[in-house]
Amino acid sequence: MISYVTSELAIEIRGLTKRFGSTYAVAGIDLDVPAGSFFGLVGPNGAGKTTTLSMATGLLVPDAGTVRIGGADMWADPVAAKRRIGVLPEGLRLFERLTGAEMLSYTGRLRGLPGAEVDTRATELLKVLDLAGAAGKLVADYSTGMRKKITLAAAMLHSPRVLLLDEPMEAVDPVSARVISDVLRRYTAGGGTVVLSSHVMALVEQLCDTVAVMAGGRIAAAGAVADVRGEHAHLEDAFLHLVGAPAADEGELAWLRSSSD
């Protein structure tokens, strides 16, 4: 397969910081995402992944630091930066009273695309994402996996150069996960850049060529998946080594084993 990974940066993060009260959710991180890479952002619960992605996509104001998307500063030049990205945010608050097709039509027009072009792209995306049969159904009646897929379609409609996806496979069945993976692979094979956050190490290892491990608001390791994996057999082992897995105490939860019946 042709590799489109270049020395050009799709995303350049410098000194990015966000504090909530006395907690540094993101503690001044630097991160480079090469153009054309399939980039995985992993870390334990509360590591700061969502906060980082929210700041990188212009949804949350940083306390300090910069994010550049293809050279455009997200906060100084948000129109240029946002034109280049498609986002699957956490939470998925959608226009529940629109059908899937209406949601794409509305999104496309908001992005300034001509109506006929929106229709062509929406029809293709619905087909590829296996949503054609549900195009006329209200988004409120979509399952979790269908909601992820329609949001992904909306994020891709304006053919952005970079996709930032917060947990795209969470609560998605294996069939839909395979469909989403295939679409994302095709997108990066065509030169697009994907940044996704996930807890599923096997998925990151299978899909991503580059990875950053976050823990406690900092980058614990970043680089090619093979380099971050190092001498470990699997990325998950390297991850547990980096973030430190708590040892289970045999004596704890003893009451769970004792039955009074």
Residue 42 contacts residue 204 (beta carbons within 8 Å):
yes
Q: Which residue in the set 11, 16, 25, 213 belongs to the binding site for ligand ATP (CB under 6 A)?
A: 25
| Residues facing residue 23 across a β-bridge | 20
> What burial class does residue 106 get, using C-beta atoms within 10 Å of its C-beta: 0-12 exposed, 13-18 middle, 19+ buried?
middle
Q: Is 23 in the site for ligand ATP (CB under 6 A)?
A: yes
Quick check: helix, strand or coil at residue 166?
Answer: strand
Task: Tell me how far, at minimum, the Cβ of 179 lies from ligand ATP, in Å.
Answer: 23
Sole binder of ligand ATP in the list 20, 109, 115, 224 (CB under 6 A)? 20
Cβ count within 10 A of residue 60: 15
SS3 percent helix, strand, coil of the chain, rounded to 5, is: 40, 25, 35
Cα–Cα distance measured from residue 185 to residue 194, given in angstroms and rounded to the nearest whole number: 9
Indicate whether 48 belongs to the interface with ligand ATP (CB under 6 A). Answer: yes
Nearest residue (CB) to ligand ATP, 199 versus 232: 199
Residue 36's region, left for phi above 0, alpha for psi from -120 to 50, else beta, is left
Tell me: does residue 47 bind ligand ATP (CB under 6 A).
yes
Pick from 22, 45, 258, 260 the residue near ligand ATP by CB under 6 A.
45
Q: Judged by CB under 6 A, how many residues of this single chain contact ligand ATP?
A: 11
Q: Where are the beta strands (DSSP E) in 46-110?
A: 64-69, 72-73, 85-88
- Segment lying near ligand ATP (by CB under 6 A), choices 48-56, 75-83, 120-128, 142-150: 48-56
Q: Distance (Å, rounded) from C-alpha 27 to C-alpha 16?
A: 7
Least Cβ distance, residue 148 to ligand ATP (angstroms): 15
State the nearest-atom distance from the C-beta of 257 to ligand ATP, in Å: 29
Q: How far is the CB of 20 from ligand ATP (least distance, A)?
A: 3
Task: Kindly tell me which of 21 and 174 has the beta carbon lying closer to ligand ATP.
Answer: 21
Which region holds residue 93: left if phi is over 0, alpha if psi is between -120 and 50, else beta? Answer: beta
CB-CB contact of 36 with 4 (8 Å) = yes
Report the chain's C-alpha Rg in angstroms: 20
Among the listed residues 28, 34, 46, 65, the single contact to ligand ATP using CB under 6 A: 46
82-121 residues in contact with ligand ATP (CB under 6 A) are none
Closest to ligand ATP by CB, 168 or 192: 168
Q: Identify which of residues 41 and 74 has a Cβ nearer to ligand ATP in the complex.
A: 41
Please choose, out of 18-26, 31-39, 108-116, 236-244, the segment that lies near ligand ATP by the rule CB under 6 A. 18-26
User: Binding residues for ligand ATP, per CB under 6 A?
Assistant: 20, 23, 25, 43, 45-51
